[in-house]
Structure 1
Amino acid sequence: MASCLCRYRQRILFFCSPCILLLPVYIYVSISLCYVMKHGPPGAHVVHSVLPTRFTASGLKHSRDLAPHPAKSFWRSELDSSALWNNIQFETDLQYNPILRPHLAANASSVSYNTGVGCSPNYEINNIMHDYTNLPNQMKNFVTTMHCRDYPLLIDPLDVCDPQAKKWPLILLMAIKTQTANFDNREAIRETWGRSGKIKTRGGKQRLVRRVFLLGKSEDLHIEEKLHLESEKYGDIIQWDFIDTFFNLTLKDVLFWDWFSRRCPHAHFIFKGDDDVFVRTPAVLDYVLAEAANRSFSNGSRQANKMETFVVGDVISNAAPIRFNGTKYYIPESFYEGLYPTYPGGGGVLYSGSLAHRLLEVSQRVHLFPIDDVYLGMCLQRLGVYPIHHPALLTFDFPKDEAKEPCANHTMLLVHKRSPAEMFQLWTETSTPSPECRNAMLRVKPRPD
């Protein structure tokens, strides 16, 4: 019996010894495989440790069963607002989102939602805005016609720009917002800072400048007759077939961009401003020419044309709509909610001709807004363009007693407001500066809080 047990033990040891010897190898291989499956091969740790943090997307969920994915959706499917403009613009932004619908975003210039010439007011808006009956008349008129933007030209000057001109390219086109009755303002501009033709810069070089006035129509037939005579005499009037009101200033922007693309597409720069500002045109020419030289790409740079983003003004940020019903800037909460985007004040703004073409395209998918400079900010926001603030563009006039300083008027590019008589006085002063003011530098003081 003992001999049998001994014999079986020898056989068991014979067969089991290799397994016992291979067991550590099996354990090692199993642990290694688990480690590689969980952490990747050893070399992967070296690569991962040297990758910059920008390769790691924030807000990711990690799961053993799914690939990493964003913790929140990129695009909201609903808007938490009952304001009219917010809702209709949200739908348009969603429709032409460059990621959700790239084919539409690529052809944004063909987008149009207005109903064309002769479109009628939409009085059904009364069923959408709960406080419509209590709104001021200018707001009622705007919301019922905000879908209309294709108005025919009543006066269209044909000889303002010469796109074939090579020897004298058009450097600056001045587009001035005015109303039919403001004859004195237009006349003062023509004889002072708004002269059309070859203008000398402060450095003595001649550059071509042109001028146009942007108008709607008046209900006063006598004033309309005088305007047509004025147009025949000067050839610088652009008039469209809409009633000229404060809330229709935005129409002057979108319709001017269309006129510019057809009549004056090669102008290098545009000044758009009010008819009660004073502009040091020679200094403006020096400024934009210097900016063009600084921004032009050279040495085979792959950067895009930087002038496509050039816009300068008295920049306003974090502005909120005015909710006081007694002001012309009143915007009710039922129409718009939220802060305004950053925008340059409408008293006077400079931008490049190439940006104007982009503004025309993007404006086709930005619904009209009652305040024109805010609307410009909305278009710039969708282009990803940030306006540059320049302290020498004084759309709110000089602060406190600064205007009394001897050379103050030689340090600005623009100042607002000025009467026709003050324009003549400033023109004389700045055209022939005194020796102490001849080399005055542009204003660089920041706007006071």
Structure 2
Amino acid sequence: MRIKYTKFFLVALASSLCLVIFYSKLKDMTHSQRDLTEMSSVKTATPQKSTTVRKIYKSVTPNKLPPLTISEDFRKDIPKNGAFWNRKLHSLLRHFDIAENQTHKDPRSRFRCRPESFELLQTNIQDVQSYPLLYRDFLKGMECRDPPILIDQHSKCVLEKEKDRIFLLFAIKSTPKHFERRQAIRETWGREGSYDNGVQVRTVFLLGRSSVDDPSLDKLVSLEAQQFQDLLVWDFQDSFLNLTLKEHVFFKWMLDRCPSVSFIFKGDDDVFANTQSILNHLQSLDPTQASSLYTGQIIAEASPLRDPKIKYYVPQSFYEGPYPPYAGGGGFLFSGNLIPSLYHVSFYIPFFPIDDVYTGMCFKALGISSAIHSGFKTFDIREQDRENACVHQDLLLVHKRNPQQTMRLWRNMHSSMLTC
């Protein structure tokens, strides 16, 4: 009996030592976080799981936004009618015109997170009670534009030489539970570092909080962020209808942390991107093309889908009219120098429940034309070609691929035995 207890004690002691060593090494891998400030969770329009103390970074968004002109084509493209979003847009455009006459009044002062009451919504949208619950939650939070950032990467775009700059930033929309997808990207096309001609590539993943119906992954996400230094997490519920909010806070983060990035790839975590082909394309652009780039698989002449059962449903009483041309949200490229203007104009375009449509509206409002690139396949390629590494050599993006397909395709594309 004494021998049995002795063995048990030795096993327990060994396990404890392993845990101590693991956490010590994990701690050594993290960057200093001396500039973190502690604050309680802020209540937002979307209910959160807990009110425990959170750590957030201070924001240093510039005091002044750049001058802005909203194109006449955009104003004409969105019809004036009785739909709620249309009325809201043209009301904001009137505010913009007044603000312009008041020497560029800062739009940020107008927005405070005051959730819309259901009574107000019912007054403005007669059939709002027929809207799906998630849609009603989205409507209540349309004025909430500045959730606190819970996990930041303040050194992401800091390089050894001040004169250097990040050439390409991969900004990948993800959710807390998609660790396997993120890891596949880190090990393949999203790998950070110096590429041909010395161009620098960096990667960030954009996350909100776990859904209230999912188990909390806060601790796992925190450990992942500490180890890989590439997660950005904001204090709002990560859902499809909050992707537009994720877009807006990403613009703000770029102004704070990465104002000098040359180009940005914005995409989903289930795409496969050909990093070298993307870099080759970007390096081939002349200065005029580079300064106003917005390219991908362009969806033109699209209109809202009215079936409540589908993911992209938009009620007629919410929005009426066609969509401007927009790049499919699976993945697209744009110029980093457009970020300040995109952030500014987003204050005058009400949040829309489909993020890629919203992004297209922002570019259209700035007078930036979308450019078609045949190498973006956001609706995938022929089924018989999906495992063919040679077919992917000249493509920039395909959607969609699971982590195993991504790893296999990347390995085959970079095999010394591949002959195309």
Q: C-alpha separation between the residues in 2 aligned to 1:120 and 1:94?
A: 22
1:372 and 2:355 are equivalent in the alignment? yes
Provide the C-alpha distance between the structure 2 equivalents of 1:307 and 1:113, rounded to a whole number of angstroms: 33
1:327 partner amino acid: I
Q: Runs of 5+ in structure 2 lacking a partner? A: 1-74
Pairs within 5 Å for 1:6-405: 80-97=80-97, 102-103=100-101, 107=104, 110-116=107-113, 119-123=114-118, 124-162=120-158, 165-166=161-162, 168-200=164-196, 205-218=197-210, 219=212, 220=214, 222-291=216-285, 294-295=286-287, 307-399=290-382, 401-403=384-386
Q: Deviations along 1:91-148, whole A, 9 cap, x unmatched?
A: 1123324xx77435x72754554214xx334322122211111111111111111111
Q: Deviations over 1:194-218 (max 9, x none)?
A: 1112133xxxx33211110001101
Q: Does the 8 A contact of 1:132 with 1:140 survive in 2?
A: yes
CA 1:101–1:244 in 2, change beyond 3 Å: closer, same or farther? Answer: closer
2:65 is matched with none
Q: Output the CA distance in 1 between the equivalents of 2:99 and 2:128.
A: 34
Contact 2:326–2:357 under 8 Å retained in 1? yes
Query: Matches of 1:308 and 1:372 in 2, distance apart?
Result: 23
Instruction: Single out whichever of 160-169 and 237-246 deviates more from structure 2.
Output: 160-169
Between 412-421 and 212-221, the greater mean CA deviation after superposition: 212-221
Distance 1:400 1:432, change over 3 A: closer
Distance in 2, matches of 1:101 and 1:262, equals 24
Distance 1:356 1:209 in 2: 18
Give the partner amino acid of 1:260.
M
> Residues 222, 402 of structure 1: CA spacing in aligned structure 2 closer, same or farther, 3 A cutoff?
closer
C-alpha separation in 2, matches of 1:275 and 1:435: 26
Aligned partners of 1:343 and 1:191: how far apart in 2? 30
Task: Report Cα offsets for 1:250-282 as digits up to 9, x if no partner.
Answer: 011110000001101111110110000011111
Per the alignment, in what secondary structure is the counterpart of residue 242 of structure 1?
strand
Residue ranges of structure 1 left out of the alignment (5+ in a row): 1-74, 297-305, 438-449
Shift of 1:176: 0.3
2: CA distance between counterparts of 1:130 and 1:267? Answer: 45
Q: Deviations over 1:342-374 (max 9, x none)?
A: 100100010011012211111111111000000
Residue 409 of structure 1: which of 386, 392, 398 is its match? 392
CA contact (8 A) 2:412 2:418 kept: no
Pair 215,424 (structure 1): closer, same or farther in 2 beyond 3 Å: same
Higher RCO (Cα < 8 Å, 6 or more apart): 2
Between structure 1 and structure 2, the one with the greater Rg is: 1
Q: Equivalent residue for 1:431?
A: 414
Write the letter of the residue equivalent to 2:370. Answer: P
Moved more, 318-327 or 219-228: 219-228
| Distance in 1, Cα, partners of 2:156 & 2:269 | 19
CA distance, structure 2, for counterparts of residue 422 and residue 402 of structure 1? 13
Question: Cα 1:404–1:430, aligned 2, differ >3 Å: closer, same or farther?
Answer: closer
Confirm or deny: 8 A CA contact 1:113 1:147 kept in the other structure.
Answer: no
Alpha-carbon offset, residue 164 of structure 1: 7.2
C-alpha displacement at 1:295, in angstroms? 2.3
After TM superposition, the score normalised by the length of structure 1 is 0.72
Q: 1:134 to 1:403 in 2, by over 3 A?
A: same
CA contact (8 A) 2:148 2:234 kept: yes
Residues 108, 361 of structure 1: 8 Å contact kept: no
Go from structure 1 to structure 2 and tell me whether the alpha carbon gap of 1:307 and 1:405 turns closer, same or farther (over 3 Å shift). closer
Provide the C-alpha distance between the structure 1 equivalents of 2:357 and 2:132, rounded to a whole number of angstroms.
Answer: 20
The answer to whether the 8 Å contact 1:111/1:365 transfers is no
Distance of 2:161 and 2:297 partners within structure 1:
32
